[in-house]
Amino acid sequence: MSATISEIAPAKLNLALHVRGKLPDGRHSLETIFAFCTDGDRLRARTSSDLLVRVSGPFGSDIDIIDARGHPKPNLVLRAASFLRKAANTEAGAVFDLEKNLPVAAGVGGGSADAGAALRLLTSLWQIDPALAQAVAPKVGSDVPACLLSIPVRGDAAGDQLTAIALPEVSGTPVLLVNPRLPLATADVFARWDGVDRGPLADWREGRNDLEAPAQALVPQIGEVLSWLSDQSGVTFVRMSGSGATCFALFESEDARDLAAAAVPPEWWRLATFLR
């Protein structure tokens, strides 16, 4: 039996997210700053003759990996593995064990982070050129190229045209993620965007998340979470991530973050972590 290797699939945060319009292919034109946490899902893998994913963890039951006929359903981990296997022209397979610690449809990367972790694992497991993983990542999903890197980057085009950036001011910063435990489909939020271009993204602190308003129209509890986070002692920055419904707050100290984490209403999900 082959050795099992593992990767953290870090939670993704959008420090700012500007929606500028539509691209010729119909996708939305975005400008965003990606940052990543030190915690998230965990993915383990070992070589196999097939491609298979098994799911556990607090949110494992929220992922449907078997269809009504008992056949495996494609998810982003298997989608990433399939694309990479084809690109590498190999018959190798892998069994994945996904520990799902992040809520599903929550604006923190989720499946994209899992797919990025799968690509990183498979380049090692199958001993193939990492450049192949970078080449197939955009085919898996718009956020997957950023999640594959899991370092601060600016995303343009559909968020998948990446430029590495330095964010020394946030690296190591204590951060608290809070979600009202309500899933929010990305397509539904984008469908509610009002189509107004509110200008380019320069500084992430002075930027915005253009999806906050449409997300709150669908899940009003997002406004409650943002307001609650803003009222906590030691907070330096608050915003919704991605298309929601997860919101996050940066703190001036780990102690301040932990005090806030302990006070999060019990019906909400929370993750106390750090930015990478």
Q: Which residues pair with 42 in a beta bridge?
A: 8, 99
164, 145 contact by CB (below 8 A): no
Which of the residues 12, 39, 160, 210 is marked catalytic?
Answer: 12
Which of the residues 39, 41, 143, 210 is marked catalytic?
Answer: 143
At 32, which helix (H) or strand (E)?
Answer: strand 28-48
Q: Is 143 annotated in the active site? A: yes
- Backbone dihedral angles phi then psi of residue 133, each to the nearest 5 degrees: -65, -40
Closest CA to 228 of 248, 204, 207, 256: 248
Give the integer Cα–Cα distance in Å for 261 and 249: 11
Q: Is 12 annotated in the active site? A: yes
Give the integer Cα–Cα distance in Å for 221 and 146: 28
Q: Catalytic residue numbers?
A: 12, 143
